[in-house]
Amino acid sequence: MADEASLYRAMVADGDDPGAPRRVHVERRGDRAVVTLDEPDRRNVLSAPLVRQLRRALADLDADPDVRSVVLTGTDPGFSAGGDLRMMDAAINHLGADEGAADIWRWIRREFGGIARLIAGSDTIFIAALNGAAAGVGLAWALTCDLVIASDRAVIVPAFGRLGLIPEVGTSWALTRRLGYQGALAYYLRGEHLDAHTAHRLGLVQEVVDHDRLAEAADRWCDRVAAMPPHATAMAKPLLRACADADWGEAITLEEFAEPTCFTTRAFADSVRSMIR
């Protein structure tokens, strides 16, 4: 029974296998990095190697104070097809083991959720660049990013309902805040694919560009981050995320406590003095 009770450990071992092909590629360019999911023949499905490699890559970038923005994208033709059906089948077959669904919970929380928490909790600005279809947990990670931009070939795929799943890994939070409760429920029940322009109209993405210009558009957002003092974006991100769940009184109090710190920075002092000269 020991082997039967360790599905989570088995998936971690599979993901960490040194012989596994590289499924995630990182390109660092000064103050920014591009992280690419790379298993195109399976539409960048979230296999164990891809998930574990992605988590390590993002943790390394988050720990580097010189990296101020990270672009998350996929190798064409898709961003990510979401969860690996083979892994789901293994989990279903494992439900009779000692820990039952708790073993699946560990993977969802520690691996899928761990990546989402890293993105949300980091001071680094994360930009999802949707180059194609985004579904399931891949979509959840994109919606967790601080900005989402899309090529005109991008498609938002609500795959969880037809699989008998609920919105997952933060998707329910993201959808209700962008669409409202009724809009989020309608999206879930319809199960319709949304093209990039419809997603933009609904507020799920902030910009739609020609497919061949997606990397250029993502880089422009990195330029905007780089143009601001480092402390400004690092402080604004957690502030705005906290205020998304705060009432007006809580939000203004958070701002009042955060703002004086900005006054202590060289960048703020230099800006003020340059404007009054």
Token pair listed for 247: 């009432």
CB 18 within 8 A of CB 34: no
Using CA atoms, how far residue 273 sits from 61, 189, 270, 277, in Å, is: 34, 55, 5, 6
- The pLDDT tens digits for 19-43 are 889 999 999 999 999 999 999 999 9
User: pLDDT tens-digit profile of 209-224?
Assistant: 999 999 999 999 999 9
pLDDT at position 5 is 54
Q: Which pLDDT value is given to residue 27?
A: 97
d(Cα 155, Cα 135) in Å, to the nearest integer?
A: 9
So where are the chain's domains? 7-227, 230-276
Which residue stretches of the chain have pLDDT < 70?
1-5, 99-100, 263
Tell me which fold the domain 7-227 belongs to.
Answer: 2-enoyl-CoA Hydratase; Chain A, domain 1 (3.90.226)
Where do the H-state alpha helices sit in the chain? 7-15, 48-63, 85-93, 101-106, 113-121, 136-144, 171-190, 196-202, 214-227, 230-243, 248-263, 266-276
C-alpha–C-alpha distance, residues 12 and 207, integer Å: 36
